[in-house]
């Protein structure tokens, strides 16, 4: 039979007064180090809060953005409500000029929103930047929709073609006969033969016209 060797049980270390003092000293040093780290972190956060611009925050950006956005939407909705109440909102030069000025001011505000997003894109999260750009683009689309609904469209005409057509029609108009009723005289074109000027030399009498004698068939 094999002999079973019994291992002696582990004996816990005996804490002497010197070892106890050493452990207490290590614990105190560790706690002091942790407290120092926590205090340094608090001081750093406090300094960052003092030196940080309050405008460079997500909450401040959305407050400013939403205020300008709501102003533009309110003005555009007011213009549309007036258009539904009065169908002749764009009739008259004065009313059309007022609508055009209002739409120009709203366009300037939308451009200011674009500039605000560009300036704050450095500290804003990508999600907030993308959301602000989408809302600005939708606001610009609404502006163009209101402009199309309110402003009268200019009629496109071919000025050169109209002038050419009038000249062509006058040239193609048949000449009036000698005897025509007065009601049809406006529809005819009167041909006036050009007059050939007669030139005379200085200090010389005009030359008499030579009259050729008539020849009868019997003389030939």
pLDDT in tens, 75-107: 999 988 876 655 444 455 556 678 888 889 999
What is d(CA 177, CA 168) in angstroms, rounded to the nearest whole number? 21
pLDDT at 211 over 60: no
What is d(CA 165, CA 147) in angstroms, rounded to the nearest whole number? 35
Most confident of the following: 109-118, 174-183, 200-209, 211-220: 109-118
Of 14-28, 47-61, 79-93, 157-171, give the lowest mean pLDDT range.
Answer: 157-171
**pLDDT, position 6:** 53
pLDDT in tens, 130-169: 999 999 999 999 999 988 888 765 555 555 555 555 555 5
The rounded percent of the chain whose pLDDT value lies above 70 is 48
Helix (H, G, I), strand (E, B) or coil at 192: coil
Helices (H) and strands (E) in the chain, counts: 5, 0
The mean pLDDT of the chain is 71
At residue 157, φ and ψ (nearest 5 deg) are: -130, 150
What is d(CA 28, CA 134) in angstroms, rounded to the nearest whole number? 57
Q: What is the DSSP letter of 175?
A: B
Sign of the dihedral through C-alpha 61, 62, 67, 72: positive
Per the model's pLDDT, the better-predicted residue between 177 and 152 turns out to be 152
| pTM greater than 0.85 (yes/no) | no
With CA atoms as reference, report the closest residue to 90 among 100, 103, 78. 100
What is d(CA 58, CA 128) in angstroms, rounded to the nearest whole number? 8
C-alpha distance from residue 101 to each of 60, 94, 168 (Å)? 30, 11, 43
Contact 170, 189 (CB under 8 A): yes
**Region 69-78 average pLDDT:** 92
Q: How many residues does the chain have?
A: 220
**Region 67-79 average pLDDT:** 92
């Amino acid at each position: 039979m094999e002999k079973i060797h019994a291992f002696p049980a582990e004996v816990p270390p005996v804490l002497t007064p010197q070892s106890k003092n050493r452990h207490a000293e290590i614990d105190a040093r560790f706690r002091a180090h942790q407290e120092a780290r926590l205090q340094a972190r608090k001081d750093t956060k406090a300094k960052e809060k003092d030196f940080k611009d309050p405008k460079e925050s997500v909450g401040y950006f959305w407050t400013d953005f939403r205020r300008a956005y709501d102003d533009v939407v309110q003005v555009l909705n007011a213009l549309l409500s007036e258009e539904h109440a009065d169908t002749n909102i764009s009739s008259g030069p004065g009313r059309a000029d007022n609508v055009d000025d209002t739409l120009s001011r709203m366009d300037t505000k939308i451009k200011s929103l674009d500039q605000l997003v560009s300036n704050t894109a450095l500290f804003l999260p990508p999600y907030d930047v993308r959301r602000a750009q989408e809302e600005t683009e939708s606001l610009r689309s609404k502006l163009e929709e209101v402009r199309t609904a309110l402003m009268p469209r200019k009629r496109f005409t071919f000025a050169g073609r109209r002038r050419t057509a009038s000249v062509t029609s006058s040239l193609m108009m048949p000449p009036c006969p000698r005897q025509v009723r007065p009601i049809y005289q406006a529809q005819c074109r009167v041909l006036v033969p050009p007059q050939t000027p007669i030139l005379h030399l200085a200090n010389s009498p005009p030359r008499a016209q030579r009259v050729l004698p008539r020849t009868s068939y019997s003389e030939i």
